[in-house]
Amino acid sequence: MIRISAGKREVWPGFSLIIPQALEFHPGSQYFLKGDNGSGKSSFIHRILLPLLQQRDDLYIICLQQQMYLQIHALSALAAVFKPDFFVRNEDDVWRYLWDDLAAQKDSLPVFVIADEAHRLNIPEAMDRPLCLIFSSHRYQREAAHKLEFVAQNPYESRIDV
């Protein structure tokens, strides 16, 4: 579980996020970060959530960025070197490549998947480890996801409503 305490956090000079109540992210759950462009979703991911996750050695992190096409090129090059028979051409291939690597690990550590504006979330059902999915999207939602709504209060701050 990841816990983020309540409070006001300056994520960039001149821009803060107000977290009125503590946020908890649990393996086995999904969380949808909802809000307008510029409301702080990506800032929350990169300035608050990822630093907390990166301090932990008891979980895996998969983080997909907004510019997914750049990650597709990078993983395509990586696959060409380490898995020459595996071709990465689209988002589904990226997921499959990353899941295959995790499936080969001999532990049962949870996986925190962060998808910042990924167009599709094709998560294999057969993954044999706890999964926490945290995503933002303007294209779709997942019905099972808990919603965290990012609401602009003024040009300098947004609030996260649970």
Would you say residue 100 lies in a domain?
A: no
Would you say residue 73 lies in a domain?
A: no
Would you say residue 101 lies in a domain?
A: no
Would you say residue 86 lies in a domain?
A: no
Q: Do residues 33 and 135 make contact, with C-beta atoms less than 8 angstroms apart?
A: yes
Phi and psi torsions of 122, nearest 5°: -100, 85
Would you say residue 133 lies in a domain?
A: yes
Q: What is the CA radius of gyration of the chain?
A: 16
Q: What is the per-residue pLDDT across 15-28, written as a single tens digit (0 to 9) for each? A: 999 999 999 999 99
Would you say residue 138 lies in a domain?
A: yes
Would you say residue 6 lies in a domain?
A: yes
Q: What is the per-residue pLDDT across 56-83, written as a single tens digit (0 to 9) for each? A: 999 999 888 776 767 788 889 989 999 9
HSE-up of residue 45 (Cα within 13 Å, Cβ side):
25
Looking at the DSSP assignment, which residues form a beta bridge with residue 61? 112
Residue 6 in this model has a pLDDT that exceeds 70: yes
Q: Cβ atoms within 10 A of the Cβ of 103, count?
A: 12
Q: What is the per-residue pLDDT across 88-144, written as a single tens digit (0 to 9) for each? A: 988 788 878 888 878 888 899 999 999 888 666 767 666 678 999 999 987 777 777
Range of the domain at 137: 2-65+110-161
For the entire predicted model, the pTM comes to: 0.88
- Residues 6+ away with beta carbon under 8 Å from 74: none
Read out DSSP for the chain? -EEE-SEEEEEETTEEEEESS-EEE-TT-EEEEEE-TTSSHHHHIIIIIHHHHHT-SSSEEEEE-S-HHHHHHHHHHHHHHH-TT----SHHHHHHHHHHHHHTSSS---EEEEEES-S-----TT--S-EEEEEE-SS---TTPEEEEEEEEETTEEEEE-
The total number of structural domains in the chain stands at: 1
Would you say residue 17 lies in a domain?
A: yes
